[in-house]
Every structure is written in C-alpha cells, then in structure tokens.
Amino acid sequence: MNLTKVLSFVFFLVALGLGYLLWKGVDDVVEEEKRIALIESAIIEKLQMLRDAQLAYEASNRKYADNWDSLKNFIQEGQIWLIERSETTKLLDYGKEETTVTFDTLGSVAVIDSLFNERKYPDFDLERLAVVPGSGGKMFEFFADKIERNSYEINVFEIRDPAPINPERRLNNNEKALKVGSRTDASTEGNWR
C-alpha cells in the first residue's frame, strides 16, 4: 500500500467519525426538544385541570384556594349544585314586557365525578395532580388573594411551575414559567397561549 491509499483510508475514517458526531449532536438536540415538549404538554394539562378545580372552588366558596390541601379536600368532598334557570316573559299593556326568572336546585354531584370523571381523564390520580411532571416530585406553587380594581375587590389566583425544565422558561428567575391565572389581574388564562 502506498501513502496515498493509507491517507485516503484514514481521512475516510475521520470523515465518518465527524459525520457521526455531527448527526449525533443534531439528533440529541431534536430528542431533547421533543422531551421538553412532551413534559410541557403534561404540565399544561395539569394546570388546566387545576384551573377547573379552582373555578369550581371559587363558585362554591367565593374565593380561590390558596394551597393544595384546601383544593384537594374540595375535590374529594365538595359538591357542585345542579341548578335550573327558567325565564317567563309576559307581555304587558303598550308593548312592555315583564320577565320573571326562577331558579330550581335539582341536586348535586361530587366535584371529583363532575370535573375529573373517568371518561374525561381515564388515568386521573388526585394524589399526583399537584406534582409537576418531570420535576422529580416538586409541587406546583399556589397563590390566591383579593385585589382592588375600580373600588371592587376581585379574587385572583395563580398556579405556577416552580422549576421549569425548559431553559428558556428559567431566564430571569423563572419569569416565563408555565402558569395559569395571575397575581395582578382577574385572569384565568394560561401563559402558554
């Protein structure tokens, strides 16, 4: 074998090695992005479930739950009342109308059966609802309070991921962490929209 063939063979092996390293680097980044997207979609689903529970809690208690234990107890033992609203309109003289509204309580259903039934969430586990997926057991942060807007007190809540897995969400002290609700506005939307 002459020197040209040996060098060609060595360069070919080096090119294969560099090609593999380049492919592996790109593949690792793509797989990490897929993993982050999968975990974030699980976090968003839990935040939506917690928001539904908070809205039901507020409808029953006229305030939001400020901790997981209160919300968990409400989910386990709370009731949602089924109310029927009916209106009757009566035509009066000269074209005026009189509307009578009546409310009738038909019964109640357990919160856990209404919001988290098996048909909607087949793998629902109340004990794991407040645990952030992919965090190693960390719990969501809960906040609830009243704020004043235009001389009215408004209930607000925020449920937040304390340790985002996405490096972009960790910037500026977790400023863009996935959350639902707001500490300063009467919003029940999530920041992932």
- Find, among 74, 45, 76, the residue nearest to 57 by Cα: 74
Q: Is residue 26 part of a domain?
A: yes
Q: How many structural domains does the chain have?
A: 1
pLDDT in tens, the chain (193 residues): 688 888 888 888 888 888 888 888 888 788 888 888 898 899 999 999 999 999 999 988 889 998 999 999 999 998 888 888 899 988 887 778 888 999 888 888 888 888 888 888 888 888 888 899 988 889 999 999 998 888 888 999 999 998 888 878 777 777 788 899 888 888 888 888 7
- Find, among 177, 92, 169, the residue nearest to 143 by Cα: 177
CA angle at residue 117 from 111 to 120, to 5 degrees? 130
Q: Is residue 109 part of a domain?
A: no
Q: Is residue 77 part of a domain?
A: no
Chain Cα centroid distance, residue 188 = 10
Q: Which amino acid is at 44?
A: I
Contact 56, 74 (CB under 8 A): yes
Q: Is residue 79 part of a domain?
A: no
Question: What CA–CA distance (Å, rounded) separates 193 from 137?
Answer: 26
Paired tokens of 112: 């856990």
Q: Is residue 132 part of a domain?
A: yes
pTM (two decimals): 0.78
Q: Is residue 135 part of a domain?
A: yes
Residue range(s) defining the domain that contains residue 152: 3-66+118-181
Q: Is residue 171 part of a domain?
A: yes
Q: Is residue 81 part of a domain?
A: no
Q: Is the dihedral of CA 59, 61, 63, 67 positive or negative?
A: negative
